[in-house]
Homo-oligomer: A and B are copies of this chain.
Amino acid sequence: MLPWSTELAGRLDEHVIASELLRGNPLDDPHERPLWVYVPPEYEGEAGRDYPSIYVIQGYTGFVEMWRNRSPYRQPFTETADRLFARQEAPPAIVVYVDAWTAYGGSQFVDSPGTGRYHSYLCEEVVPWVDARYRTIADRDHRGIMGKSSGGFGAMITPMLRPDLFGGLATHAGDALYEFVYIPEFARAVRFLRDYDGDILRWWEDFRSRVSFTKEEDHVLLMLLGVTACFSAREDGTPELPFDPRTGVLRGELWQRWLDWDPVRMVPKHADAMRSQRAIWIDAGTKDEWFLDIGAQAFRQALAEAEVDDDLVHFELFDAKHGAIDYRYPLSLAWLADRLAA
């Protein structure tokens, strides 16, 4: 098949949703967002039937238009997902592609004075919007969420916070076990910030004034700034680093705010929510640059300690780094669709 051909068996509707909750957000990001909704081939024909819905969220610096990106020898997930349903390798489901981009590259799908109310936007605006316009089974037992990296994080925490909305999840290399994920990043950042007098906003100013990603520090500092805005912004929105940028010394209270968002640490507080899930897919590559394979193990163990039934969980490590693991998404999608159809 040609790398540039594409024709879906199902239908992908590209909407724009106007979010009241994102209006006037702290970063002046648009409150109108793309929202793609995919319906499987049989959707058109069978008028009376309702379908499970699965929400797909993206990793850091992802935005919905990127789902369209094409790569050599691989198809976009929108197409591999469609093929699943076309070949009846999974029960039909509605797939919703949500946008949660911010000026800093991401929202972590949380509500924060540093970025905006992306968690609420997802739960209180997107979900009802979809349910109102599509023949979903509008019930948490038939609604799931999945994502990779920061999207995997979002997929872990959203059902913890809103088990009334989500009854299944899939995390691919989702952020977890924050010491392992972030401490090495902080170390790199301290070095990079030497050139900016320890002031990440000076870097940000520089970054915005030139071609992006032409300096070695750009990726690390962008993610650091963005996650700081999500997890440890002041009430007025100012991001406060969880460490002293001149010595690397952790700032106890601010770092604790990050740790409070560590899925591994959140499970005990949300044990009921987790036990109530119908399907939990966890995977990661064993060479993940952020050690998210270990994060996956720790999250898995936290579920066990919270007495989540083993039957609910699919756990898998595979040989890969963090990047280019999009081929895993159809696996979890099919599995979730199957579990959430029942």
Instruction: Tell me the number of copies of this protein.
Output: 4
Q: Is the CB of A132 closer than 8 A to any CB of chain B? A: no
A1-35 contact mask (Cβ, 8 Å, vs B): 1 or 0: 01110000000000000000000000000100010
A70 to B62, CA, bound (A): 10
User: What is the size, in residues, of chain A's interface with B at 8 Å between Cβ atoms?
Assistant: 54
Residue with the highest number of chain B CB atoms closer than 10 Å, among A2, A246, A293: A2
Partner of A61, one of B72, B105, B180, B248: B72
Q: Is the CB of A160 closer than 8 A to any CB of chain B? A: no
A2 to B105, CA, bound (A): 11
A65 to B2, CA, bound (A): 11
A199 to B40, CA, bound (A): 42
Name the B residues within 8 Å of A244 (CB-CB).
301
Q: Is the CB of A220 closer than 8 A to any CB of chain B? A: no
Contact present for B249 and A177 (CB under 8 Å): yes
With A3-B63, A180-B248 already in contact, the answer to whether A72 and B191 are too (CB < 8 A) is no
Give the residue name and chain of the B residue nearest to A218 (CB).
B73
Contact present for A191 and B293 (CB under 8 Å): yes
A295 to B66, CA, bound (A): 34
Give the residue name and chain of the B residue nearest to A294 (CB).
B248
Q: Is the CB of A251 closer than 8 A to any CB of chain B? A: no
Partner of A179, one of B177, B183, B295: B183
With A64-B4, A214-B327 already in contact, the answer to whether A72 and B264 are too (CB < 8 A) is no
A184 to B180, CA, bound (A): 7
A286 to B179, CA, bound (A): 22
A105 to B264, CA, bound (A): 34
A297-335 contact mask (Cβ, 8 Å, vs B): 1 or 0: 110110000000000000000011000100100000000
Q: Mind listing 13 A-B residue pairs with CB under 8 Å?
A: A3-B63, A4-B34, A65-B70, A66-B70, A69-B70, A73-B212, A187-B291, A190-B291, A191-B293, A191-B294, A214-B327, A248-B294, A248-B295
